[in-house]
Amino acid sequence: MAKIVLKGDIVFTSNKDRFETYEDYYIVAENGKVVGIYEELADEYKNYPIKDYTGKMIIPGFVDLHLHAPQYPNRGLGLDKELIPWLNTYTFPEESKYRDIEYAKKVYSNLIKDLWRVGTTRSVIFSSIHRESTKLLMDMLMDSGLGAYVGKVNMDRNTTPELTEDTQRSIVETEEIILEYKDKSNLVKPIITPRFVPTCSVELMKGLGKLAINNGIPVQSHLSENVSEVEWVKELHPELPDYVSVYNEYGLFGQTNTIMAHCIYNTENEIDIMARNGVFAAHCPYSNYNLSSGIMPVRKFLDKKVPVGLGSDISGGNNLSIPSVMVAAIQASKIKWLETDKKLQPLTSSEAFFLGTKGGGIFFGKVGSFEEGYDLDALIIDDSSLMCGNELSLEERIQKFMYIGDDRNIIHRYVRGNEVSEPK
Ligand code: GUN
Ligand code: FE
């Protein structure tokens, strides 16, 4: 049985309302799962291998619920456009390049290194429509030791000719990846990825919904990100009452575990369906600023008990770092509260930390916290450079790291109790 003990200053959020802090404590894990947190090490654990990180913070690994791997080279490009022109001008041309496996390998190797560097131990990723480079990305992630869901994108309408798939072929290739990868790794899994309603025909969505349900495979897509997009979906589907109903009609809305990115313009009724179906919302504040999309009313989702996590949404979002996304989410919620609706209380720092750890982590199972039975996904944070010589409480130290820390403060990363070294 694999055993490990980490010693240090432990911080996590088992619920969003407060940080739990344990200064100079021990976390014990067996077979990658947390057994408990102790002030003194009981005799039975004294012969376990111990990593002494006294004076350093031990926090859960970060979870990114939404990013596009093939858009990594586009970070920072074209962000003065809104969603649809940005997709047509920048995103689709870049995503066409991934027929070329060698190109994919270069980009994905950079991305995986950077995910490791910024402490994202689990992520939920869109690849491109290309089967081979999707498999390559999954294999590379397996080699890295990081956890991920990866989806081959499906599109058969309203995109460029190079990215328009034959409907049946799109379904068959997706099924091939599912069958090949669903049991290949404990940490890297397939996810069904219709890009969004405007680029997927009814026949495609029906086929993908069936694949999801028959194989118990999760689903990810985009929802209500931009006003013109929502209008477009209404025009494409006058037979259904709203955007949510289109996914729901075809088995792509919580029939299996589902993540929807953005969720800025949903009606109350749509949010109620998300809560009822347990559909996760991935809040991507940087992307929403960059593409002038709007600000998600995240408080409404939390109040209605919709599961919420954070996403970098590379490359609509420009920043891969989840602690930075946490801060952006807090800032967005303050502007929403000030400018739009005084009932939507801004996010607190413990709430934002929760969203970027356990909030998204739950999509993976028991991930994102140090409660008993949770996977020991942990980061060791050396924040000595951030303190300016002051004595700070552990709660102040984690706030400071969120706001002014970066990857230079992350000195070790663990996934399921194993230390993960820098990917090749
Ligand atoms: N909606 C459909 N495709 C995309 C994408 O690649 N990025 C974002 N932000 N929204 C989308
Ligand atoms: Fe996206």
Q: Tell me the per-residue pLDDT of 321-372, one tens digit each, with 9 for 90 and over.
A: 999 999 999 999 999 999 999 999 999 999 999 999 999 999 999 999 999 9
For residues 84 and 97, membership in a common domain is answered with: yes
- Whole-number Å distance, alpha carbon 316 to ligand 2 midpoint, is 7
User: What pLDDT digit, counting tens, does each position of 12-40 carry?
Assistant: 999 999 999 999 999 999 999 999 999 99
**176 lies in a domain?**
yes
Looking only at the bridges linking them, the beta strands covering 50-60 and 378-381 are antiparallel
For residues 341 and 219, membership in a common domain is answered with: yes
Cβ of residue 131 lying under 6 Å from some atom of ligand 1: no
Pick the residue whose CA is nearest to atom 3 on ligand 1: 195
For residues 194 and 235, membership in a common domain is answered with: yes
For residues 166 and 119, membership in a common domain is answered with: yes
Do 262 and 282 meet the contact criterion of CB atoms below 8 Å apart?
A: yes
For residues 279 and 378, membership in a common domain is answered with: no
CA separation for the pair 75, 308 (Å, rounded): 24
Pick the residue whose CA is nearest to atom 11 on ligand 1: 222
User: What pLDDT digit, counting tens, does each position of 184-234 carry?
Assistant: 999 999 999 999 999 999 999 999 999 999 999 999 999 999 999 999 999
Dihedral over Cα of 416, 147, 361, 331: its sign: positive
Look up the domain containing 293 and give its range. 62-364
Question: 396: pLDDT confidence band, cut at 50, 70 and 90?
Answer: very high
- Whole-number Å distance, alpha carbon 74 to ligand 1 midpoint, is 13
CA separation for the pair 31, 74 (Å, rounded): 39
Question: For residue 398, what is the domain's CATH number?
Answer: 2.30.40.10
For residues 322 and 387, membership in a common domain is answered with: no
Question: 1: pLDDT confidence band, cut at 50, 70 and 90?
Answer: confident
- Overall number of domains in the chain: 2
Looking only at the bridges linking them, the beta strands covering 378-381 and 410-415 are antiparallel
For residues 138 and 73, membership in a common domain is answered with: yes
For residues 153 and 42, membership in a common domain is answered with: no
**78 lies in a domain?**
yes
Q: Which of 195, 200, 222 is the pocket-test mutation for ligand 1 (most atoms within 8 Å of CB)?
A: 222
Say whether the peptide bond before residue 201 is cis (omega within 30 degrees of 0). Answer: no
- Which residues, other chains included, contact 160 with Cβ-Cβ below 8 Å and sequence gap of 6+? 88, 92, 93, 96
For residues 310 and 172, membership in a common domain is answered with: yes
pLDDT, position 420: 98
Helix axis angle for 131-144 and 101-117, nearest 10°, is 30
For residues 279 and 384, membership in a common domain is answered with: no
Mean pLDDT for all residues in the chain:
98
For residues 277 and 406, membership in a common domain is answered with: no
**35 lies in a domain?**
yes
Cβ of residue 377 lying under 6 Å from some atom of ligand 1: no
CA separation for the pair 72, 137 (Å, rounded): 13
User: What pLDDT digit, counting tens, does each position of 227-284 carry?
Assistant: 999 999 999 999 999 999 999 999 999 999 999 999 999 999 999 999 999 999 999 9
